[in-house]
Structure 1
Amino acid sequence: MQARTTRRLVAGSLALTLGTGCLTAGTATAQPRDGHNRTQAIVDGFTAHGAPGAMVFAEDGHRSWTVTSGTGELGADKPIRPWEKVRVYSNTKMFVAAVVLQLVGEGKVRLDAPIEQYLPGVVQGNGYDGNKITVRQLLQHTSGMADYIPDVLADPDVNNHPWRPEELVRIGLSHPPLFPPGTRWAYSNAGYIVLGMLVGSVSGHDIGTEITDRLIRPERLWRTSYPRPGQKQIQGPHAHGYYAFPGKPVADVTELEPTVPGAAAAMVSTGPDLTRFVRALLAGKVLRPDLLAEMRKTVPAQGPDYGLGIREIPLPCGGVAWGHAGNGPGFDSFTAATEDGRSVFSVVNGHLKDGSAADVRGAAVSALC
């Protein structure tokens, strides 16, 4: 994302949930192990249709397995490995929601309190009233807040300097509300930026510090991080993320100013770490039972029903899984787990030839079933 034109084109691709792009690349197919042919066929389909690489990592409580296809770095025979870091984007929302709910458990936040109580004057103006938007509505995307992503990423210098959360929220509020609070559902990254500010206000520490101290360290997620402002590179072994524009050479978009996605989608992690976290979450190791129950109260949404920072995913083989997607420059991913201990992480490091996103959720569901 060095050239001005490239940055503008990247901006146009990120309007909803930090969605990403596509390219074609030579692929190397890994052989499926232990009969995971269906999942292998899915990831091979991703690379056959233009994604540079894809990987699924799964665990069932007793063993783990991986299928890969293509490459994690163009020009090299380097399949994406489970322990390699990627930008997991909106999987971050599960962590933010867990921190907010822990603060609820400590009596520092009330779910149905207005955000104005904690951040006076922040969500006000242009039809917004923080007295009418609750913490719960921000967590479940029913606040009606418009997003900031298209505007910020239209800035040709978007990746060249840190952004303050207050700036991002003001940009979101420059657009009228999508609907009255609590009446509909619409995905809002801006709402999670506000939640990050909430955590900072009531804890005295920024959201990255709270996620690290409350979740990453206690759950021993050693390859997971919330990057600091200016930390554009992924530290340690990682896959590369790519974008290709019509008539343009392939661009490596792995580097990203982390304050752009911020509390909505800044985190870096791996398959083993994310699946470990979601299993711990569902097992009641992260939240009290009553707070986990609140997290799993869902509302109808675009796609699977949405709770507080987590989705309920019906499985064709019976039962449900819980998890989240993460879509952004260079990487699409999906994490999910079931109550009986099965878990999965799927990732693709680019879009397909036709510009569509790979069905990483479908790959994850295949692995769970």
Structure 2
Amino acid sequence: MYIRCQVDAHQLLCAVELVPQGGSQKSKVKSQKYYGMSFLGFLNGCSSCKVLMPAAGCANGGNRRSTPVACDGKPVYSAGSTLRYFRRVVLDQLGFCLGSKMNLKFLAFSKILFAIVFVISLSFAGYLVGNNINQRVVGKSLAKHVISTSTVGKSSQLQTLLNEIVVEQKIPGAVMYISTPKGSWLGASGVNNLSTKTRMKPTDGFAIASMSKTFLAVVVLKLVEQGKVQLNRAIATYLPRDITPHIINSDKITVRQLLNHTSGVAEYLDTKKFIQATAKRSRSQPWTAREAIQYMYQERPQANPGEKFIYTDCNYILLELIVENITKGTLAQAIRSQILKPLGLKHTFTELREPTIGEVATGYGDRNKDGKLDSYAKVNDGNGLGDGGLVSTAEDLAKFAKALFVKKTLLSSKMMKEMLKFKDTGEGYSYGLGLERFSSPLAKAIGHSGTAYGFVTLLAYLPNQNTTIIVLLNNQNVDIKSVARTGLEVVENKRF
């Protein structure tokens, strides 16, 4: 009989297996496998790590997948403490399971096991400590949130789910936030940069892409509240005079139609000239709305005003021009004064227009269509424009969602009713004024998603459950709504 030790660096588990000599399936002595402590906890030498014991073959029962690792002690990274901890905890547990089977032959071979684990700990300690995909429950900045017992009971399951999603869907890194009436949870997994292998943190910033449209819509509705804009008035009234003549139907298209994508205007993003321009554009040269809008001047409208829903980013470039013309400032300034400052969103900013705040993840996607992830770090596809220019964190987005949907303090009740007037898109979901009402798998949830610059993001609020979920991924080739749905299933006891 010999001992085989397997270390799974992703799941961070140390598995010990007693195997009959020769490995014959007909041997009377069957292989017995035991799953020891979390390998991460083993390396840390944490005094409170739960041991995943035992697996098939141990009379005490157990399940390696569903039993979480809880680690709240201070880490000790020395090889000596690691070895002592392994000997004290794992072998005690093995002795318990083996009982009378513990014999001299096992003790002899245990020395071999010690040597193996000792070498592995030296090789992997630095890597795992620096890059562990461990749970990051709401930190100091969210310490005021009360996390109930029932929500904490789901924390390990949510973290396990996030870890699995990152690996199975080949996502460099992810952040997920869930808030229910029972409490809140915030977790991170993977890395925020594939080159540096820097571990993803819940506080890392993400370009939220089209989710930024909801912020711009709030600014416009606040201008409506102030009597500076009318929703049903033609946009020619509010656009700069030198731009109005170039926008076909500007005397018929209303502000409302820009907000809910029923204006029928042409798109600028898909034009050959814009695509060519972005290929040469440095990130040191931020795009302006005036520049971007010129790429649709020669394009024919996609439909007559109010005729049908066509999701078009150009609608929100026009809204940016309207906001800047009325406020005589930049859209970044308007968002900061109307939303970010009042709500205390200290980690949200307009990309390339304002100084970077905190650590921001790098976005990735299959740009070359070769099945490989390419970095968007040096790409300037219109970053910072009104159709998708914000960078934010899960915590800031949670505060924004709470103010808009739960406390309802961001807009007046009248403007909120306008925002929630949804039109059927004919594509399985509805769109209001800067808001999506999702269909399956997030039926009846409201919020917004975004895909651009190597990121895919989602903010969804379920009114009936008073539940908010935020998912931020740095691989834009992922179905984020399904990811969010699986997270909600954990909370709703429909998974695990």
Q: Under TM normalisation by the shorter chain, which class is it?
A: 0.7 to 0.9
Q: Give the drift of 1:125.
A: 4.4
Relative to structure 1, the CA distance from residue 327 to residue 270 in structure 2 (aligned partners, 3 Å threshold; closer, same or farther) is same
Report the Cα distance in structure 2 between the residues aligned to 1:316 and 1:256, rounded to whole angstroms: 32
> How far has the Cα of 1:260 moved from its partner?
4.2
2:482 matched residue in structure 1: 362
Distance 1:214-1:306 versus aligned 2 partners, 3 A rule? same
| 8 Å CA contact 1:327, 1:333 repeated in 2 | yes
Per the TM alignment, residue 252 of structure 1 is displaced from its structure 2 partner at its CA by 2.6
What does 1:37-186 correspond to in 2, within 5 Å? Answer: 37=157, 40-41=160-161, 44-61=164-181, 63-75=183-195, 78-119=198-239, 120=241, 122-125=243-246, 128-151=248-271, 152-155=274-277, 156-160=279-283, 161-186=285-310
Per-residue CA deviation, residues 47-92 of structure 1 (Å, 9 max, x unaligned), is: 3232222221112255321344432221555442221111111111
Alignment gaps of 5+ in structure 2 = 1-130, 137-151
- Is the Cα contact below 8 Å between 1:40 and 1:68 reproduced in 2? no
The alignment partner of 2:414 has SS state of helix
2:209 & 2:484 partners in 1: Cα distance? 17
The alpha-carbon distance between structure 1 residues 187 and 123, as it changes in their structure 2 partners (threshold 3 A), is: farther
Pick one of 20, 34, 47 that aligns with 2:153: 34
Aligned residues: 334
Higher helix content, 1 or 2: 2
| Aligned AA (2:308) | R
Cα separation, 2, equivalents of 1:277 and 1:193: 22
Computed over aligned residues only, the root mean square deviation of the Cα atoms, in angstroms, reads 2.8
Please list the CA deviations of residues 243-271 of structure 1 after superposition, one character each: whole Å capped at 9, or x if unmatched: 34355975432355485450110100001
In 2, the alpha carbon distance for the partners of 1:118 and 1:87 equals: 29
Q: 1:166 to 1:31 in 2, by over 3 A?
A: closer
Distance in 2 between residues matched to 1:43 and 1:185, nearest whole Å: 37
TM-score by structure 1 length? 0.81
Runs of 4+ with >6 A deviation: none
Is contact 1:122-1:130 (8 Å) kept? no
Aligned partner of 1:272 among 385, 388, 395: 395
Correspondence list, 1:152-301, <5 A: 152-155=274-277, 156-160=279-283, 161-229=285-353, 234-244=356-366, 245-246=368-369, 250-257=373-380, 260-282=383-405, 283-301=407-425
Kindly indicate whether the alpha-carbon contact (under 8 Å) linking 2:135 and 2:159 is maintained by their aligned counterparts in 1. Answer: no
Does the 8 A contact of 2:424 with 2:431 survive in 1?
yes
Alpha-carbon deviations, 1:267-309, whole Å to 9, x = none? 0000111121012111321100010000000011235210000
Is contact 2:178–2:186 with CA below 8 Å preserved after alignment? yes
Equivalent position amino acid for 1:311 in 2: E
Q: Taking structure 2 as the reference length, what is the TM-score of the superposition?
A: 0.62
Q: Return closer, same or farther for 1:31/1:117 CA change in 2, 3 Å cut-off.
A: closer
Distance 1:39 1:145 in 2: 43
Q: Which has the larger radius of gyration?
A: 2
Superposed CA deviations along residues 74-127 of structure 1, whole A, max 9, x for unmatched, are 15554422211111111110010000001101110000000001114524447x
The equivalent residue for 1:20 is none
Q: Secondary structure at the match of 2:263?
A: coil
Q: Which of 238-247 and 202-211 deviates more? A: 238-247
Structure 1, unaligned runs of 5 or more: 1-26, 352-356
Q: Which range moves more in the overlay, 169-178 or 266-275?
A: 169-178
| Structure 1 position 211, deviation (Å) | 0.3
SS in 2 for 1:129: coil
Name the structure, 1 or 2, with higher relative contact order (CA <8 Å, separation 6+): 1
**C-alpha contact (below 8 Å) 1:56/1:346 kept by paired residues:** yes
Deviates more, 1:41-50 or 1:301-310: 41-50
1:149 deviates by 1.4
**How far apart are 1:367 and its partner, in Å?**
3.2
- The one-letter code of the counterpart of 1:367 is G
For the Cα contact (< 8 Å) 1:226–1:268, is it kept in 2? Answer: yes
